[in-house]
Chains A and B, each alone.
Chain A
Amino acid sequence: MSLTNDKFLNISNSIKNSYLDEWKNNKKKVLGYYCTYIPEELFYAAGFLPYRIRATGHELDELADIYMVRFTCGFVRLTLDLALRGGYDFLDGLFITNCCDHARRMYELYDLVVFKRKEIKQKPPQFYVALPHVINEDGFEWYLDEIKLLKEQIEQEYTLKEIDNSQLKEAIKIYNENRSLLREIYNLRTLDNPKLTGSEFLQISMANTSVPKEIANNELRRILEIIKNSKDLSNNRKRIMLVGSVVDNINFTKLVEDSGAIIVSDFLCFGERNILDDVDLNGDLLENIAKRTYYRMSCPRMMDDHKKRYDFLLKEIERAKVDGVILQRINNCDLHGCENMLLEHELKDLGIPSLNIDREAFLTDTTRLQTRIEAFYEMIK
């Protein structure tokens, strides 16, 4: 048994999937979101399927070009283009937070352009939560208040009744289990003889954000068994950690791995960063959901948390016996661009090989990247 052509992994290759269709056929609602700073459990408790918007495989941006200048992130640009072509018309709502400048402005663009297209019969509700850019008690107090308001808004817009504790508890259990399963799978990458590639994990993780979590959990259990019973992968490849901007396409990870390495660890939002922390099942459940989302392992949008991220990276480099770190950013991503700048110098000071590269959201310059990546591998002893 192997993961090649596995039906669950294949979900990552397309925007829609059969589970999503079935969910919609049962008159259930799908909520689109961009960034992992979302209280997903709250939406799930309200009966939504939270769906992480991505543009995997989409390579056109002419329509997006009308509304976005050339300095905007290629990932967000592709999603806008796809949205304008009706690619996300299955959404029944949209959640946006001020994660980064590119994605947060999608709130207005969906409102003023995407949801105003003639194909949209009824404009879906939109939700916005203002997330602080620092991590401290004052910030949490603000954020918790935002989450409480969000809950009221969801209740008003959709459920027309209170989302109760039992629903929250059930959602939290499902999500905690989901993260636990993903962590278990993730850990099989970091073994001396890894059981799966970085590209396979990315596919699993992307598919996981596109289907109902109960189904995802069943699939993850099945996949875990397959992986456990599979042969070890070759251990004579360079062990790489991949860090930086969102990666929603295995073309890039395959390029990294096919050049003579295996991605044994990552610090990506479709990767480990999003599965590290769970929600406490004791006490005030809504507050616990807010705590997990706010205090979780951050990304560079949190302005005062670089040290924590750096320390985590070092631990992970040691744990996964990483030979070298690839720091990558999608062009025009200031947050990861500057974070990578700091990391590059910090890793260099410690003698840890690193490569800092920029790329387009979809790969147009594979030869340039391949040359740099191969040269980097040559450099690693």
Chain B
Amino acid sequence: MVNRTELENKVIPYKILLETLQNTYDLVDSILLDNTIPSLKIGLKYLIQNIEANIEKAGDGLPVVGHHFAFQSEYLDCFDVVPICIEGTSYILSALLPDGVEKYYDLMRNWGHPFHTCSSQKGVMGMTLDDLFRFDAIICPTAPCDNTMASYPYFKYQADVPMVLPDMPFIHKEKSFKYYAKQIKKGLEDLGKIIGQKPDWDELKKHLEIDNKSINTQLEIFELKKAIPCPVENFYNAMSAAVTIFMAGKEEKVKYYDEMLESAKNNYRKKKHHGGEEKIRCIFPYMLIFFDLGLCEWLDRELGMSILFDIFNYNFTKPIRTTDSLDTMFYDMARKGMEFPMMKQSTDFYYNFIDDCVNMAKEFKSDCFIFTMHIGCKQFGSVVQVLREALRDETGIPVLMLDLDVGDKRMTSMKVLRDKISLFAQTLL
């Protein structure tokens, strides 16, 4: 007879994650004054609830379903499963564990995974190789990058995990959304057959509606960032990425954004900047540096540099229509999926990305851009200079490119990165 602990041990990294989240929360709670870094405290509180619930479900024997971050976890709410975001798990652990997840990167590298292939998958691949994750199935859209196409077959062919691959077109046209809508629906039906559950579309609707509720709040926070000084601390961006990935379709996500909106409004009214004085307004058009999120605080407090937003915090889609037909709902799910952070920029030409950046620079009165050129993201490897030229010509502001692995401190150390940013900041002041 299988006991509860054995079932929970299908998701050992989640148990590690829960422990680190709780330790971090306790530390934050005991050291920091109230409202010092509100996003951190609020976000941790809800993340802990979410991870606890998932471990509980694993203990109940529910299927463990791995999913790519671009296949939003609320889409899996039509099933009773334990959703594990593969990329999210690698990177949240790289942020929270004192030694990151380098051990698992190295396991995979030694197994043959190329050094230049994305660490976001490499981490959980290594954990699976080490038998820490035992997936019952994985669902992954065929996007946004070569890393996804290249790394996921490992789970299917070497770890023997059944895999469902909804195909996402690499062009944004009307027909693309229709095609991907069918792919999502068929993908969920196929997944249901693998795990022995029938998708419950009513349950899915319920969670989509919950997720819809936070869109306007996010937009309101986004608008508030136009204010000088920026009324939202840099860490909000990092926590928001985690909330988007781990808590999609959950009430906790709605609460997180509601509470953050209150905090932002409060700061806005008081013209308060998290670091004391805002000296530089910066946009990270791509990702943050996950292996050391302390950078967010350092930028706020040491340099007076606000990160107005990163890629997870400037992509918004319309709410999903749930009251019309199922076709409409899946169409909107497809649109949302294809316009999800990184998907929008990766599965189409990058002209819109450049235009968006130029417009945001103007609207938000940004002083500079910092582009984190992640080693995995070859699809962005030829974007930076074009962006740099467009920003120079249209707005006159500079771009600093940092080449690094956002999940592995060994490629470019935080010391080097901070030095580069400091020097860059000096040219702006």
Q: Pick the most buried of B116, B175, B350, B401: most chain A CB atoms within 10 A of its CB.
A: B116
Residues in chain A within 8 A of chain B (CB atoms): 66-73, 80, 98, 100-102, 104-109, 112-113, 128, 130-134, 138-139, 142, 145, 300-301, 303-304, 306-307, 329, 331-332, 334-335, 337-342, 344-346, 356, 358
Q: Which residues of A contact B384 (CB under 8 A)?
A: 69
Determine the residue in chain B with the shortest Cβ distance to A70: B403
> Of A101, A113, A306, A329, which one neighbours B114 at CB under 8 angstroms?
A329
B359 within 8 A of A: no
> What is the CA–CA distance of A372 and B170 in the complex, to the nearest angstrom?
39
Contact A102 B171 (CB under 8 A): no
> Of A71, A112, A301, A338, which one neighbours B375 at CB under 8 angstroms?
A71
Determine the residue in chain A with the shortest Cβ distance to B349: A108
Contact B167 A133 (CB under 8 A): yes
Contact A342 B381 (CB under 8 A): no
- Chain B 24-65 interface residues, beta-carbon cutoff 8 Å to A: none
B351 within 8 A of A: yes
- Chain B 390-421 interface residues, beta-carbon cutoff 8 Å to A: 401, 403
> Of A80, A101, A112, A344, which one neighbours B378 at CB under 8 angstroms?
A101
B323 within 8 A of A: no
Q: Which residues of B contact A68 (CB under 8 A)?
A: 381-382, 385
Shortest distance in angstroms between B86's beta carbon and chain A's nearest beta carbon? 15
> What is the CA–CA distance of A95 and B148 in the complex, to the nearest angstrom?
24
- Chain B 111-128 interface residues, beta-carbon cutoff 8 Å to A: 111-114, 116-118
Contact A337 B114 (CB under 8 A): yes
B154 within 8 A of A: yes
B157-186 vs A, CB cutoff 8 Å, 1 = contact: the mask equals 110000101011111000110010011001
Beyond A73-B378, A306-B157, whether A104 also contacts B170 by CB under 8 A is yes
B130 within 8 A of A: no
> What is the CA–CA distance of A306 and B154 in the complex, to the nearest angstrom?
10
Beyond A101-B381, A307-B157, A342-B158, whether A301 also contacts B149 by CB under 8 A is yes
Determine the residue in chain A with the shortest Cβ distance to B376: A334
B146 within 8 A of A: yes
Shortest distance in angstroms between B333's beta carbon and chain A's nearest beta carbon? 17
B20 within 8 A of A: no
Contact B150 A300 (CB under 8 A): yes
> What is the CA–CA distance of A292 and B295 in the complex, to the nearest angstrom?
51
Contact B117 A303 (CB under 8 A): no
Q: Pick the most buried of B145, B153, B168: most chain A CB atoms within 10 A of its CB.
A: B153
Beyond A68-B381, A105-B382, A109-B382, whether A337 also contacts B167 by CB under 8 A is no
> What is the CA–CA distance of A131 and B156 in the complex, to the nearest angstrom?
22
Contact A340 B112 (CB under 8 A): yes
B383 within 8 A of A: yes
> What is the CA–CA distance of A106 and B14 in the complex, to the nearest angstrom?
40
Q: Pick the most buried of A98, A100, A130: most chain B CB atoms within 10 A of its CB.
A: A130
B151 within 8 A of A: yes
> Of A130, A134, A334, A337, which one neighbours B170 at CB under 8 angstroms?
A130
Q: Which residues of B contact A356 (CB under 8 A)?
A: 112
Beyond A101-B381, A145-B175, whether A108 also contacts B150 by CB under 8 A is no
Shortest distance in angstroms between A99's beta carbon and chain B's nearest beta carbon? 10
The 7 closest A-B pairs by CB, nearest first: A337-B114, A341-B112, A133-B142, A338-B150, A101-B378, A98-B170, A101-B379
Q: Which residues of A contact B163 (CB under 8 A)?
A: 304
Determine the residue in chain B with the shortest Cβ distance to A100: B146
> Of B169, B373, B386, which one neighbours A142 at CB under 8 angstroms?
B169
Contact B382 A71 (CB under 8 A): no
> What is the CA–CA distance of A335 and B146 in the complex, to the nearest angstrom?
6
Contact A108 B350 (CB under 8 A): yes
Q: Which residues of B contact A73 (CB under 8 A)?
A: 378
Further contacts, 9 of them, CB under 8 A, given A105-B350, A133-B149, A358-B114: A71-B378, A72-B381, A107-B349, A134-B167, A304-B163, A334-B147, A340-B112, A344-B112, A345-B112
B69 within 8 A of A: no
Beyond A70-B403, A108-B351, whether A303 also contacts B170 by CB under 8 A is no
Contact B142 A334 (CB under 8 A): no
Shortest distance in angstroms between B291's beta carbon and chain A's nearest beta carbon? 17
Q: Which residues of B contact A107 (CB under 8 A)?
A: 349
Contact A132 B142 (CB under 8 A): yes
B309 within 8 A of A: no
> What is the CA–CA distance of A136 and B318 in the complex, to the nearest angstrom?
31
Beyond A72-B381, A303-B165, A304-B165, whether A334 also contacts B351 by CB under 8 A is no
> What is the CA–CA distance of A80 and B385 in the complex, to the nearest angstrom?
14
Contact A108 B386 (CB under 8 A): yes
Contact B153 A338 (CB under 8 A): yes
> What is the CA–CA distance of A98 and B146 in the complex, to the nearest angstrom?
10
> Of A102, A303, A329, which one neighbours B149 at CB under 8 angstroms?
A303
> What is the CA–CA distance of A142 and B378 in the complex, to the nearest angstrom?
25
> What is the CA–CA distance of A276 and B105 in the complex, to the nearest angstrom?
38
20 A-B pairs (CB sep. < 8 Å): A66-B385, A67-B382, A68-B385, A71-B378, A73-B378, A102-B146, A105-B350, A108-B351, A133-B143, A133-B168, A142-B169, A301-B146, A332-B116, A334-B149, A335-B149, A337-B113, A339-B150, A341-B154, A345-B158, A346-B157
Q: Which residues of A contact B149 (CB under 8 A)?
A: 133, 300-301, 303, 334-335
> What is the CA–CA distance of A69 and B382 in the complex, to the nearest angstrom?
6
B3-32 vs A, CB cutoff 8 Å, 1 = contact: the mask equals 000000000000000000000000000000
B312 within 8 A of A: no
Shortest distance in angstroms between B404's beta carbon and chain A's nearest beta carbon? 10
> What is the CA–CA distance of A73 and B165 in the complex, to the nearest angstrom?
26
> Of B156, B157, B169, B383, which one neighbours A132 at CB under 8 angstroms?
B169
> What is the CA–CA distance of A304 and B140 in the complex, to the nearest angstrom?
11
Contact B386 A112 (CB under 8 A): yes
> Of A80, A128, A138, A307, which one neighbours B182 at CB under 8 angstroms?
A138
Beyond A133-B149, A306-B153, A358-B114, whether A128 also contacts B171 by CB under 8 A is yes
Contact A105 B167 (CB under 8 A): no
Beyond A138-B183, A345-B158, whether A69 also contacts B386 by CB under 8 A is no
Shortest distance in angstroms between A106's beta carbon and chain B's nearest beta carbon? 8
B152 within 8 A of A: yes
Shortest distance in angstroms between A300's beta carbon and chain B's nearest beta carbon? 6
Shortest distance in angstroms between A82's beta carbon and chain B's nearest beta carbon? 15
Determine the residue in chain B with the shortest Cβ distance to A112: B386
> What is the CA–CA distance of A339 and B377 in the complex, to the nearest angstrom?
18
> What is the CA–CA distance of A341 and B125 in the complex, to the nearest angstrom?
13
B63-82 vs A, CB cutoff 8 Å, 1 = contact: the mask equals 00000000000000000000
Contact A303 B142 (CB under 8 A): yes
Contact A338 B171 (CB under 8 A): no
Q: Which residues of A contact B165 (CB under 8 A)?
A: 133-134, 303-304
> What is the CA–CA distance of A66 and B387 in the complex, to the nearest angstrom?
12
Contact A138 B179 (CB under 8 A): yes
Shortest distance in angstroms between B184's beta carbon and chain A's nearest beta carbon? 12
Contact A72 B382 (CB under 8 A): yes
Contact A342 B157 (CB under 8 A): yes
Contact A342 B154 (CB under 8 A): yes
